Each structure stands twice: as structure tokens, then as C-alpha cells.
Amino acid sequence: MIRQMIKEMNPQAILLDSSFDRAIVGVGSNSQGDVVVIYSNKECIDIISFDGVEKADAIFLMSTFKESSQGKYSPVFLTEMWEME
């Protein structure tokens, strides 16, 4: 349902695999005003770690993914302020 709503707002929005749907916290706009998906960085790491991947490895995988996903319709990964402490 959430994926469909996002695709209706922007058919070109890039979404992660559906296993990451619970990490979607909302949508935002890129610098051109296009709707993009916003994922919780922490929740994405938790999802990767769930299947036995070490947390450090999950963090590395997420940072690698974020570095390689630079594009007009790429998702945004939210890091909440409390996570930075």
C-alpha cells in the first residue's frame, strides 16, 4: 500500500526491496521538487542485522549503498539526532 502511494506520487522514485518497507518513515522532496522516499537509517541497519549479519557489517553495507545511490530519485536515509550521541 505504501509503495503504491509513493509510486503514484512519483513513478520514478527509487525504493529499496520490499523487505525494507517497514523502514519507510515518509516522503520528501529533492532539490528539483520531486517526491523521494525517506528511510530510517537505523531501521535499515536493524533489518540487515536481523538475519545474523553483524551490526558493524550492516553499517558498512548501508554506507556503501548510500555512497552508490546518488541520483535524482534516490531515497534519503534519515539519521535521528538521538542516534548521533
Has residue 71 been placed in a domain?
yes
Cβ neighbours around 84 below 10 Å, total: 6
User: Would you say residue 84 lies in a domain?
Assistant: no
* Within-domain flag for 39: yes
Domain count, the chain: 1
- Answer whether residue 1 shows pLDDT above 90: no
Residue 57 falls inside a structural domain: yes
Residue 83 lies in a domain: no
Amino acid type, 62:
M
Q: What digits encode the pLDDT tens for the residues 26-65?
A: 999 998 999 999 999 999 999 999 878 999 999 999 888 8
Domain extent for 30 = 2-78
Report phi then psi at 58, rounded to 5: -65, -40
Residues 6+ positions from 37 with CB-CB distance below 8 Å = 6, 13, 14, 15, 16, 24, 27, 75, 76
